[in-house]
Amino acid sequence: MVYRTIGELVEEKALLYPNREALVYADRNFRLTYSQFNRHADEVAKALMAIGLDKGDHFAVWTTNVPQWPGLQFGSGKMGAPLVTVNTNYRTAELEYLLEQSDSRAIILMDQLRDYSFIDTLYEICPELKTSEPGKLVSERLPLLKTVVVISEKKYPGTFTYEEFLSNGQKITDEQLIQRKNSLSYDDVINIQYTSGTTGFPKGVMLSHFNLINNAINIAECMKLTYEDKLCIPVPFFHCFGCVIGTLAIVSAGGTMVPVQEFNAAEVLRTVEKEKCTALHGVPTMFINELNLPNIQDYDLSSLRTGVMAGSICPIEVLKGVMNRMGMKDITICYGQTETSPVLTQTRTNDPIHLKVETVGRALPNVEVKIMEPGTNNEVPPGVQGEICARGYVVMKGYYKNPDATQEAIDENNWLHTGDLGTMDENGYVRITGRLKDMFIRGGENIYPREIEEFLYKHPKVLDVQVAGVPDVKYGEEAAAWIILKDGQTATEEEIKSFCDGKISRHKIPRYIYFVDHYPMTASGKIQKFKLKEQFKSYI
């Protein structure tokens, strides 16, 4: 096991590989060697200290994979303020909840993504920002939030530009930064990632340097990454896939981070070709889009060797296409969840294809995985379905300000109960067979029906609503909602979707909406969601 901070990790690589490239954006003139990137992370660390963030204070980052993101990730690792990741799909209600629940004292955001204004959303939540002095926000709804930094060439009222933010860091001396670094422990929480739960409200998963670095190292070893590898990262940094399986894993090997700011299949393949990337990450939907490019044969992908496919079950034809048409013979499959830093099991590069398709691999080193009879601590025999449980360094420190949920997830023997159903064979390879909870996965995004249901209950015409995941060719699963309207009310599918638009993430807005008079029930009055899913099959 490795006992160091994320800041110490990048400093170690800067000593070992000072002139090798650490971070490259292929679509612009942006290249930093490890020596340069390490100095940049120091500058970011000082800037975070200059806006008043002490060790343990939280700050949020709400952007796509912009070049500033890796500096913020490793800079925070040097000065000890946990980075709170914000999903770029979030809208007003979700953002306000996250900033309030996480006790974030600062937020760094991009001003706009396509046609959606992030800064206007923040102004809606904190109207006082428009008349505030930068760094001195006094918000009625978010009393702890003081500083807003906008990644934009445009100056917005009440905020710092990113350049002003970095310049402020010059107020912090080298000695002050060294003193802060020396106060940090490998066991400190350094990242908080929000994941929804059965209660319908997102929970902040607290992850330490120790959790993240060791997971990243193990992931990299399973892919046989070295300092000579270049990893193309089109998966979002706000997700564990991007900032652990992506940035941290390749840095742990001393290789090169090659992010794509926002996923576009052609841009990904252009990046791989231009930088001669040896590794590529993605959820199955991303790989499907890449394989379906009509001119895929025009790209030189001969440098590709490995990568990770995760997020949902991989169809065999997709995996064959990735291995044969994209040259990724050593691709690996991962399984885990945010609460496990995130990877529990992973296939190895030399595993036969049937194990890469039928299983999610075997446990990482120093991680225990077993299949338990649901509701008990009794391990089931090989091949028998049960709940996937895990123990070891990967298990989160807990949910932020939510001890009850933490206790529910982690039992008295330190086993984390994933809520996923699976089997394990005699060799330790795990197969996912279902979910104890109703969570489903759309294009790599975990979606929890209760969260959508609780939002739809706010519609004045809705009496009751049930949401479930239903099969979808493109995304794996999509949300479907079965709605019972109040007496005398009528509504349309478009009306319900319009109600959701701008309030919850687009991927959570139900694609299918059905108006019904009743739900299938058990004798004890419990709604049978599996029968609703069966009904869906008769609709299509």
CATH code: domain of residue 32: 3.40.50.12780
279 located within any domain: no
- Rounded Cα distance, 70 and 77, in Å: 11
Which helix (H) or strand (E) element contains residue 466? strand 462-472
Do 184 and 230 lie in a common domain?
A: yes
**3-class SS at 53?**
coil
pLDDT at 196: 60
The token pair at 139 is 């918000």
Do 246 and 384 lie in a common domain?
A: no
15 located within any domain: yes
Residues 452 and 467: beta-carbon distance below 8 Å:
yes
- Rounded Cα distance, 420 and 340, in Å: 13
Q: How many domains does the chain have?
A: 3
Q: In this model, does residue 505 exceed pLDDT 50?
A: yes
- The H-assigned helical ranges of 102-256 are 118-125, 162-168, 174-182, 209-223, 240, 247-252
Do 431 and 516 lie in a common domain?
A: no
Residues 187 and 210: beta-carbon distance below 8 Å:
yes
Nearest-10 crossing angle of helices 284-291, 265-275: 80
The token pair at 134 is 């930068």
pLDDT at 357: 86
**3-class SS at 12?**
helix
pLDDT at 200: 55
Residues 248 and 216: beta-carbon distance below 8 Å:
yes
Question: Domain boundary at 230, 262, 294, which?
Answer: 262
Band of residue 313 on the pLDDT scale cut at 50, 70, 90: low
- Rounded Cα distance, 95 and 191, in Å: 17
pLDDT at 199: 43
Which residue has better confidence, 487 or 433? 487
Q: Which of 89-98, 424-433, 524-533 has the lowest mean pLDDT?
A: 524-533
Q: In this model, does residue 513 exceed pLDDT 80?
A: yes
Band of residue 174 on the pLDDT scale cut at 50, 70, 90: very high
The token pair at 12 is 């170690």
pLDDT at 448: 76
DSSP 176: H
Q: How many residues does the chain have?
A: 540
pLDDT at 444: 87
Residues 89 and 96: beta-carbon distance below 8 Å:
no
Do 38 and 106 lie in a common domain?
A: yes
What CATH number corresponds to the domain at position 415? 2.30.38.10
What's 346-415 look like in SS3? Answer: ECCCCCCHHHHHHCCCEECCCEEEEEECCCCCCECCCCCCEEEEEEECCCCCEECCCHHHHHHHECCCCC
Question: Domain boundary at 435, 469, 501, which?
Answer: 435
The token pair at 475 is 């995304």
Do 120 and 211 lie in a common domain?
A: yes
* Identity of the residue numbered 300: D
* CA dihedral for 71, 77, 80, 84, sign (positive or negative): positive
Structural domain that includes position 517 = 440-539
DSSP 247: H
Q: What is the pTM of this model?
A: 0.85
Q: pLDDT per residue over 274-303, tens digit each?
A: 999 999 999 888 998 899 899 999 999 999
Question: Domain boundary at 379, 405, 435, which?
Answer: 435
- Rounded Cα distance, 165 and 148, in Å: 10
352 located within any domain: no
DSSP 501: B
Do 141 and 257 lie in a common domain?
A: yes
Q: In this model, does residue 45 exceed pLDDT 70?
A: yes
Q: In this model, does residue 197 exceed pLDDT 70?
A: no
CA 490 to chain centre: 38
Q: Which of 432, 57, 73 is nearest to 240 (CA)?
A: 73
The token pair at 234 is 């089109």
Residues 362 and 422: beta-carbon distance below 8 Å:
no
